[in-house]
């Protein structure tokens, strides 16, 4: 028994025991995978931008202490344990809030819905809540099918929208083949290819779904005008445009929405649906968002207002946290901070690229969302391990493994970026020496 309240839940058993339990009762292959990388570790204490493992990877090794530049894909935009978020959770619990009852109406959902409507691009002003990003994507596709009475969906090759029903069907075969999940009406086209999109969008298509900056696909940056053209193609064919900003939204690019000025300052596209997840509640209580234009509501809910429900989606407690998160992250000073830090980080990464031309091919991104493309997958994987061991947590893009992904918390400070950049540099230096 651990008497220290801070440690009540962290380090309750030695790491070795926990790895065994995880392997036996949760996911054995995952434990083997991490061990094979020399990363058989379990995250323990976390605070602000830092994450510390319970113990080191091998017996006797010190715990890994890492600057969290993975942030679980933009969950910890405000860092771990942000005081404003922690306080609002305590206040909400003290006032007796819980998840609420999804069949009943909700004060908290009404207030969060209003805030989202104020902040969303154009006239997007209705929201259906969920728990996970995939659930919100499923909702957007379902609603598109209801509105258009068509079945087809076009997504981008390498894009990623989740592992649930329709979301899974939009993704790469890598994630769906094993589950025999291939909907013939769902097709993929190359990202940033207007002609391919034009050919694919017919009068049998209900929706086009795209990430503004495909993250799993390699932090890809579309040409200026691409999304405006996709908008036009959708309009010409009566097709719904769904934008997934689960990773790129909520200020990550330095604007609240990537699709509305964050990707290109002069390009402000209004989709029919906007999907959000991950950072909605700063990593405390899951909540996802499918927001849409008001004309869509009637086609979905007209005969039955309970036709789409989620018991824990849009929980009262989640809504309270999300509202506070939006108050923080939509503030212009906050967004300016992301822009400033983003420019600083970009400069640093570009300098590193110049220093290691044999390793790094390209740096891509916006704000505090960066992809570092290596010349080959072997080097990107080796670099990732070396950088993690140096003390910066990051990972690779699952559908483009030659690219490492850096998403530091949006509250990161300049001096922290200096340390992160210097650790990346040191890690690459070490790798360069080993490779000689």
R_g over Cα of the chain: 22
- Give the nearest residue (CB) to ligand PLP: 133
Contact 190, 159 (CB under 8 A): no
**Site membership for ligand PLP, residue 172 (CB under 6 A):** no
**Site membership for ligand PLP, residue 282 (CB under 6 A):** no
Query: What residues contact 168, with CB distance under 8 A and at least 6 apart?
Result: 134, 162, 175, 176, 179, 181
Q: Which of residues 22-51 bind ligand PLP (CB under 6 A)?
A: none
Structure tokens at 199: 């050919």
Q: What angle do CA 323, 272, 122 make, to 5 degrees?
A: 65
Q: Which of 109, 145, 161, 252 contacts ligand PLP by CB under 6 A?
A: 161
**Site membership for ligand PLP, residue 247 (CB under 6 A):** yes
CB of 257 to ligand PLP, least distance (A): 14
**Site membership for ligand PLP, residue 140 (CB under 6 A):** no
Please list the residues that pair with 80 across neighbouring strands. 48
Of 172-180, 209-217, 317-325, 375-383, which part binds ligand PLP (CB under 6 A)? 209-217
Scanning 192-309, the segments in alpha helix (DSSP H) are 194-200, 226-236, 295-301
CB of 158 to ligand PLP, least distance (A): 11
Q: Which of 69, 215, 263, 280 contacts ligand PLP by CB under 6 A?
A: 215
Tokens 């990388």, residue located: 37
Q: Which of 48, 79, 152, 162 contacts ligand PLP by CB under 6 A?
A: 162
Q: Which of 138, 211, 255, 390 contacts ligand PLP by CB under 6 A?
A: 211
- Taking residues 68 to 107 in sequence order and writing x for each that binds ligand PLP by CB under 6 A, - otherwise, the string is -----x----------------------------------
Query: What residues contact 358, with CB distance under 8 A and at least 6 apart?
Result: 375, 432
Kindly state the DSSP code that residue 222 receives in the 8-state scheme.
P
CB of 355 to ligand PLP, least distance (A): 30
CB of 394 to ligand PLP, least distance (A): 15
CB of 194 to ligand PLP, least distance (A): 21
**Site membership for ligand PLP, residue 271 (CB under 6 A):** no
In whole angstroms, give the CA distance from residue 249 to residue 246: 6
Interstrand relation of 369-374 and 400-406 (parallel, antiparallel or unpaired): antiparallel
3-state secondary structure 12-31: CCCHHHHHHHHHHHCCHHHH
In whole angstroms, give the CA distance from residue 148 to residue 165: 19
Q: Which of 244, 272, 373, 390 contacts ligand PLP by CB under 6 A?
A: 244
Tell me whether residue 73 or residue 271 sits nearer to ligand PLP (CB atom). Answer: 73
**Site membership for ligand PLP, residue 285 (CB under 6 A):** no
Kindly state the DSSP code that residue 63 receives in the 8-state scheme.
P
Of 43-51, 211-219, 293-301, 334-342, which part binds ligand PLP (CB under 6 A)? 211-219
**Site membership for ligand PLP, residue 292 (CB under 6 A):** no
**Site membership for ligand PLP, residue 246 (CB under 6 A):** yes
Q: What is the SS3 assignment for 115?
A: helix
Of 10-18, 154-162, 369-377, 421-429, which part binds ligand PLP (CB under 6 A)? 154-162
Contact 120, 274 (CB under 8 A): yes
Interstrand relation of 400-406 and 240-244 (parallel, antiparallel or unpaired): unpaired
Contact 272, 241 (CB under 8 A): yes
Q: Where on the chain is the footprint of ligand PLP (CB under 6 A)?
A: 73, 132-134, 137, 160-162, 211, 215-216, 244, 246-247, 277
């Amino acid at each position: 028994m651990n008497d220290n309240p801070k440690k009540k839940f962290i380090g309750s058993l030695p790491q070795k025991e926990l790895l065994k339990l995880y392997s036996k009762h949760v996911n054995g292959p995952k434990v083997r995978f991490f061990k094979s990388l020399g990363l058989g570790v379990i995250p323990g204490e976390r605070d602000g931008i830092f994450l510390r493992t319970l113990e080191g990877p091998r017996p006797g090794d010190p715990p890994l202490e890492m600057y969290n530049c993975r942030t679980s894909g933009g969950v910890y935009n405000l860092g771990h344990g942000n005081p404003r978020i922690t306080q609002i959770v305590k206040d909400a619990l003290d006032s007796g809030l819980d998840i609420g009852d999804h069949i009943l109406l909700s004060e908290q959902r009404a207030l969060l819905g209003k805030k989202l409507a104020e902040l969303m691009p154009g006239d997007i002003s209705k929201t259906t809540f969920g728990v996970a990003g995939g659930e919100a994507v499923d909702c957007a596709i379902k609603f598109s099918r209801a509105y258009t009475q068509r079945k087809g969906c076009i997504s981008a090759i390498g894009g990623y929208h989740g592992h649930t029903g329709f979301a899974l069907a939009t993704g790469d075969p890598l994630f769906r083949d094993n589950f025999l999940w291939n909907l013939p009406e769902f097709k993929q086209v190359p990202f940033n290819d207007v002609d391919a999109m034009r050919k694919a969008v017919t009068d049998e298509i209900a929706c086009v779904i795209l990430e503004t900056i495909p993250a799993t696909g390699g932090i890809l940056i579309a040409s200026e005008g691409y999304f405006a053209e996709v908008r036009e193609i959708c309009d010409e064919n009566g097709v719904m445009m769904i934008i997934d900003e689960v990773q790129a939204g909520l200020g990550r690019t330095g604007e609240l929405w990537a699709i509305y000025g964050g990707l290109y300052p002069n390009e402000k596209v209004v989709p029919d649906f906007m999907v959000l997840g991950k950072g909605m509640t700063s990593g405390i209580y899951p909540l996802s968002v499918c927001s849409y234009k008001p004309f869509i509501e009637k086609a979905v809910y007209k005969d039955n207002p309970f036709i789409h429900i989620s018991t824990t989606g849009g929980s009262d407690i989640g809504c309270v946290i999300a509202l506070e998160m939006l108050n923080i992250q939509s503030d212009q000073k906050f967004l300016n901070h992301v822009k400033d830090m983003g420019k600083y980080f970009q400069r640093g990464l570009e300098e590193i690229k110049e220093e290691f031309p044999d390793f790094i091919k390209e740096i891509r991104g916006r704000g505090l969302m960066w992809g570092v493309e290596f010349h080959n997958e072997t080097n990107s994987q080796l670099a990732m391990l070396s950088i993690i061991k140096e003390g910066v947590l990051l990972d690779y893009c699952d559908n483009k493994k030659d690219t490492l992904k850096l998403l530091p918390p949006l509250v990161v400070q300049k001096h922290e970026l200096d340390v992160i950049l210097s650790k990346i540099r040191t890690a690459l230096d070490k790798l360069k020496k080993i490779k000689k």
